[in-house]
């Protein structure tokens, strides 16, 4: 009897426990059941998708609770951030501060890159970098790796936890994102995973942003198959769907005038087909919002924030249909509180570890880079909070070394503590790299054309040795091969033996006419010791070699032929903290170089060449000003006719012919103003500029040897573009005073192929 009574009491207690555990759920379900569950669908559309923020803003004003969100591409980004509990004001503020050009460029600010990684900026090389492995040439998987997007999103959704594996139903607002499996061409609805990785995968435009690998599958932009994912919202929660379509209209025939525009049109056609299917599935009672965005470009992220009012206006236009989904102030506040109450408890970061850098790059490099960062490295105290922004900033700087395809990390939670596992993903197209380039310069009398090739073999040993070969053919020929060996894997000191072979024309003029050339050919072997970091480089070296100069002055030779054994030294100091060598807007570039031969060392000539360059730049808005000073002279000896200083040409004495000014001692002062007319798409370049210069040059005009002390004023007007092929200029130069020379220039590449504004 006692046993039976005990059993009945146990069953009653169990029933009460079950009832108590279900009570909160029943109350929540009752509240939810009092109104239809609203699923918000945010479609893809690139920059046009920023109009979604305006839609969200008005839905909040109208007190429309959202039960779940499904998004694609930019809709997945905006929807994922909102679903993670980020307020509209905070989202708007963060997005309005984004430098979109920097975000779409994987490189950090140029000033933060090590000087070694800036070296290509001084050469006429295209941006495109090919990989070379055996006899194969390899391409990068996208024009941008997109890791900066991930870093930005990790900071924005940090309150939601940045968990490596998360059920998206557990977010403050349940969430779905669409991706496309690029391997088998199927659509993927993400219900769980790393929220940031999923958002990034959903907006990886093929060919522009590299695919994202999730669970050994490569995913790209979900808009290819599901740009307005109505079905995903219905499957997740929706009784009623609010669908927002921001897709780009098809281009008219007169705009289909390039391979790029036709390719984009093809993608738009495919996207438009699946959008029509999704919109046809909308039912009576669903709400379709289509902001009036006109022909606003999906690539115009810089101005995308201006579309928020369009999203607001389109949503208010649907006020009548949305009003039936609205709830009272009290109910909306209660819903909002329940949403924020779903934010997870996030474990504190106890450690940051480098878990992988691949098979080539020494992992200690990345460890060393992170070690001394406050709030990240091993020196972080127990009371010092982990700083996600500092981690992102340092990893961007590490990327600037040029060793990695992208930087990555994930949060691993164990026993209530969190470990950040950092990975540097090596370039899949490395470890050997090729670049190509062109240089073209023309004035009233001549056209010079060069073709450039550059080859780098990296990480030849655990200390990070690199073998670099630069070849130029055309007007000026050279082959330079250097083996760069750091003294240790984390050392800024290095040793660099190199071979330098050149074939250089030295052109002489008289009365504005070319009278002949010296053809100077030399081969030298160098051994340099140096020190380099992000601020610049110091070098000191010795060399030995052989030079031969052959004159070609016609019937009246101006100077003799020469054959010389040369032994001497080189020294250089370069401070490089300027944002761009091509079109500077901010920072300082300074360089001092000295070259000398010594008869006491066995050289058959004995002279010195030392020159100094200083360029500073500042800007305000679209306006920029660059100031440059250059001096060249000799510390001892007279310069031989086969090695003079030469000026003249665009921005090197505008108005004069290229290399028309000559001398033992020369000088140049220059002020250049430029105005940014337009911004180019990141795949094509950076900008188009209109500008002009005022210059003063001190040098001899041709063979007028008595005129070297005169200051020669000149000016130029130009239109220029910073393109993926290099800087391009169309310019008019005008010299004043007694010379009154004027010349039209066209250039692709740096002005002056060996001029004072090109280092080293």
Residues serving a catalytic function are 73, 221
CA distance 384 to 387: 9
Omega into 313 within 30° of 0, i.e. cis? no
CA distance 505 to 551: 10
Alpha-carbon dihedral of residues 125, 129, 134, 138, nearest 10 degrees?
-140
The tokens of 426 are what? Answer: 């090596």
**360-364 long-range CB contacts below 8 Å, 24 or more apart?**
360/403, 360/426, 360/430, 360/431, 360/458, 360/459, 361/403, 361/404, 361/424, 361/426, 361/459, 362/459, 362/462, 362/463, 362/464, 362/489, 364/489, 364/490
Radius of gyration over every alpha carbon of the chain, rounded to an integer in angstroms: 32
In the block, tokens 């997005």 appear at 95
Q: In 206-362, where does DSSP find H-type helix?
A: 230-236, 259-280, 308-316, 319-323, 329-341
CA angle at 682 for the pair 678 and 686, rounded to the nearest 5°: 45
Note whether 303 and 309 are within 8 A (CB). Answer: no
In the block, tokens 């601020």 appear at 535
CA distance 29 to 23: 10
Strand residue runs (E) in 534-579: 536-552, 562-578
Alpha-carbon dihedral of residues 77, 83, 88, 91, nearest 10 degrees?
-40
Helices (H) and strands (E) in the chain, counts: 15, 32
């Amino acid at each position: 009897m006692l046993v039976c009574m005990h059993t009945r009491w146990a069953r009653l207690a169990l029933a009460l426990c079950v009832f108590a555990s279900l009570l909160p759920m029943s109350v929540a379900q009752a509240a939810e059941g009092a109104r239809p569950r609203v699923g918000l669908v945010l479609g893809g559309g690139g920059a046009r998708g920023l109009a979604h923020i305006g839609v969200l803003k008005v839905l909040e004003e109208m007190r429309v609770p959202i039960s779940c969100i499904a998004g694609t591409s930019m809709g997945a980004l905006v929807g994922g951030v909102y679903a993670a509990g980020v307020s509209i004001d905070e989202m708007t503020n963060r997005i309005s501060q984004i430098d979109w050009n920097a975000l779409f460029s994987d490189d950090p600010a140029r000033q933060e890159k090590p000087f070694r990684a800036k070296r290509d900026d001084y050469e006429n090389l295209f941006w495109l970098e090919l990989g070379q492995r055996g006899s194969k040439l390899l391409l990068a998987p996208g024009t941008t790796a997109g890791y900066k997007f991930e870093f930005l999103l990790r900071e924005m959704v940090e309150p939601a936890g940045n968990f490596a594996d998360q059920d998206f139903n557990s977010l403050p607002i349940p969430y779905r994102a669409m991706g496309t499996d690029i391997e088998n061409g199927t659509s993927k609805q993400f219900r769980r995973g790393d929220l940031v990785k999923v958002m990034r995968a959903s907006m990886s435009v093929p060919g522009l942003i590299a695919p994202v690998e999730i669970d050994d599958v490569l995913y790209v932009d979900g808009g290819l198959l599901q740009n307005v994912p109505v079905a995903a919202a219905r499957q997740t929660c929706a009784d009623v769907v609010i669908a927002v379509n921001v897709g780009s209209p098809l281009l008219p025939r007169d705009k289909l005038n390039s391979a790029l525009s036709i390719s984009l049109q093809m993608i738009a056609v495919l996207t438009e087909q699946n959008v029509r299917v999704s919109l046809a599935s909308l039912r009576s009672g669903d709400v379709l919002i289509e902001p009036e965005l006109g022909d606003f470009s999906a690539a115009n992220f810089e101005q995308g924030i201006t579309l928020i009012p369009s999203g607001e206006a389109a949503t208010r236009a649907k006020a009548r249909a949305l009003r039936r989904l609205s709830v009272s102030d009290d109910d909306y506040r209660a819903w909002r509180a329940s949403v924020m109450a779903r934010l997870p408890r996030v474990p504190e970061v106890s450690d940051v570890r480098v878990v992988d850098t691949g098979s080539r790059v020494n992992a200690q490099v990345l460890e060393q880079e992170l070690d001394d960062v406050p709030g990240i490295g091993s020196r972080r105290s127990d009371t010092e909070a982990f700083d996600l922004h500092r981690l992102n900033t340092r990893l961007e700087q590490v990327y600037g070394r040029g060793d990695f395809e992208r930087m990555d990390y994930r949060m691993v939670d164990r026993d209530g503590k969190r470990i950040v596992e950092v990975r540097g993903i090596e370039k899949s197209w490395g470890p050997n790299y090729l670049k190509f380039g062109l240089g073209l310069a023309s004035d009233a009398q001549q056209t010079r054309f060069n073709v450039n090739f550059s080859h780098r073999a990296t990480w030849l040993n655990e200390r990070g040795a690199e073998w670099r070969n630069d070849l130029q053919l055309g007007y000026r020929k050279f082959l330079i091969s250097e083996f760069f060996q750091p003294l240790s894997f984390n050392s800024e000191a290095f040793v660099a033996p190199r071979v330098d072979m050149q074939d250089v024309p030295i052109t002489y003029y008289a009365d504005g006419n070319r009278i002949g050339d010296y053809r100077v050919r030399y081969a030298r072997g160098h051994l340099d010791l140096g020190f380099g970091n992000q601020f610049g480089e110091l070098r000191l070296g010795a060399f030995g070699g052989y030079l031969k100069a052959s004159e070609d002055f016609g019937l009246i030779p101006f100077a003799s032929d020469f054959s010389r054994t040369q032994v001497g030294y080189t020294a250089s100091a370069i401070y490089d903290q300027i944002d761009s060598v091509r079109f500077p807007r901010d920072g300082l570039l300074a360089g001092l170089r000295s070259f000398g031969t010594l008869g006491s060392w066995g050289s058959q000539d004995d002279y010195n060449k030392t020159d100094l360059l200083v360029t500073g730049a500042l800007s305000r808005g679209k306006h920029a000003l660059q100031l440059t000073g250059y001096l060249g002279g000799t510390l001892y000896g007279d310069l031989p006719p086969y090695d003079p200083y030469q000026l003249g040409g665009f921005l090197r004495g505008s108005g004069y012919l290229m290399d028309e000014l000559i001398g033992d001692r020369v000088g140049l002062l220059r002020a250049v103003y430029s105005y940014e007319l337009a911004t180019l798409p990141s795949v094509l370049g950076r900008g188009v500029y209109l500008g002009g210069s005022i210059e003063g040059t001190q040098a001899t005009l041709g063979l007028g040897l008595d005129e070297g002390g005169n200051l020669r004023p000149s000016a130029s007007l130009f239109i220029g573009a910073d393109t993926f092929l290099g800087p391009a200029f169309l310019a008019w130069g005008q010299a004043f005073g007694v010379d009154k020379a004027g010349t039209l220039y066209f250039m692709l590449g740096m002005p002056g192929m060996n001029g004072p504004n090109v280092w080293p």
